[in-house]
């Protein structure tokens, strides 16, 4: 590090009062995540992902629901993927943005820590199990073309089983999710992160 680097370095303080103690989160220009350019880019990208995910997946659900011709077994599975993605969008994007990139601590409390972590796990598992169901359906269609295809009623049962399986598989997540104070800064300022 040379002298010009030391003089060109700027520091940003994010401070607030906590029980008479002024809590300061200090970041320098060497901390790329604290730079205004990075934060603006991340805000733009998170906002774009949020809007595109909600609108795109919402349109998929709307089209399949309103068009009788689109109500096929494969499309039921695709709608289920879209619902899982909407759940992920609602419970992952805003909470992770605020807690990890804006504040760098979890301001939403212990209950929301459990709810958000559980919802995120369920949405990922719903997507994985739905893709598994689609793969099995496609495999059966290719390997056994003369056998009857999966009916709509059976597809709805498979979708229900996907959700029950995802909810059950993710059940340990709220048990182990808790607020943590991993550093002296978190201890001194009495702020937590949400962890598993």
3-state secondary structure 74-118: HHHHHHHHHHHHHHHHHHHHHHHHHHHHHCCCECCHHHHHHHHHH
Tens digits of per-residue pLDDT, 147-194?
Answer: 888 888 999 999 999 999 999 999 999 999 998 888 887 788 888 888
- Identify the pLDDT of residue 7: 37
Q: Which residues contact 166 (CB under 8 A, 6 or more apart)?
A: 122, 125, 126, 129
- Identify the pLDDT of residue 185: 76
pLDDT at residue 69 tops 60: yes
Q: Which of the pair, 67 or 150, is modelled with greater confidence?
A: 67
Minimum mean pLDDT among 26-30, 37-41, 128-132, 138-142: which range? 26-30
C-alpha–C-alpha distance, residues 157 and 162, integer Å: 9
- Identify the pLDDT of residue 28: 52
Q: How confident is the model at residue 33 (pLDDT cuts 50, 70, 90)?
A: low
Q: Which of the pair, 180 or 16, is modelled with greater confidence?
A: 180
- Identify the pLDDT of residue 59: 97
Provide the whole-model pTM: 0.79
Q: Residue holding tokens 């702020």?
A: 191
Label residues 1-12 b or e (16+ Cβ within 10 Å = b).
Answer: eeeeeeeeeeee
Residue 11, H or E segment? strand 11-18
Three-state DSSP state, 57: helix
- Identify the pLDDT of residue 26: 57
Q: How confident is the model at residue 9 (pLDDT cuts 50, 70, 90)?
A: very low
Average pLDDT, the chain: 84
CB 82 within 8 A of CB 57: yes
What sign results for the dihedral spanned by CA atoms 124, 126, 129, 134?
negative
- Identify the pLDDT of residue 135: 94
Q: Domains of the chain by range and CATH?
A: 11-195 (1.20.1070.10)
- Identify the pLDDT of residue 13: 47
The token pair that represents 85 in the structure block: 């993605």
3-state secondary structure 13-53: EEEEEECCEEEEEEEECCCHHHCHHHHHHHHHHHHHHHHHH
Tens digits of per-residue pLDDT, 70-84?
Answer: 989 999 999 999 999
- Identify the pLDDT of residue 3: 42
The token pair that represents 168 in the structure block: 């059950």
């Amino acid at each position: 590090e040379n002298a010009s680097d030391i003089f060109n370095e700027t520091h940003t303080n994010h401070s607030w009062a906590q029980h008479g103690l002024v809590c300061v989160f200090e970041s320098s220009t060497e901390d790329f995540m604290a730079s205004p350019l990075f934060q603006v880019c991340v805000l733009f990208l998170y906002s774009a992902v949020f809007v595109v995910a909600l609108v795109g997946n919402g349109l998929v659900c709307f089209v399949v629901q309103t068009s009788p011709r689109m109500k096929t077994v494969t499309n039921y599975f695709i709608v289920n993927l879209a619902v899982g993605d909407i759940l992920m969008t609602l419970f992952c994007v805003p909470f992770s943005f605020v807690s990890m990139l804006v504040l760098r601590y979890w301001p939403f409390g212990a209950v929301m820590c459990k709810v958000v972590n559980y919802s995120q796990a369920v949405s990922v598992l719903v997507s994985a199990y739905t893709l598994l169901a689609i793969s099995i359906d496609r495999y059966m269609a290719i390997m056994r073309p003369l056998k009857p295809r999966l009916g709509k009623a059976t597809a709805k049962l498979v979708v229900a089983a996907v959700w029950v399986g995802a909810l059950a598989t993710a059940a340990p997540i709220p048990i182990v999710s808790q607020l943590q104070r991993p550093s002296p800064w978190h201890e001194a300022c009495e702020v937590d992160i949400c962890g598993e």
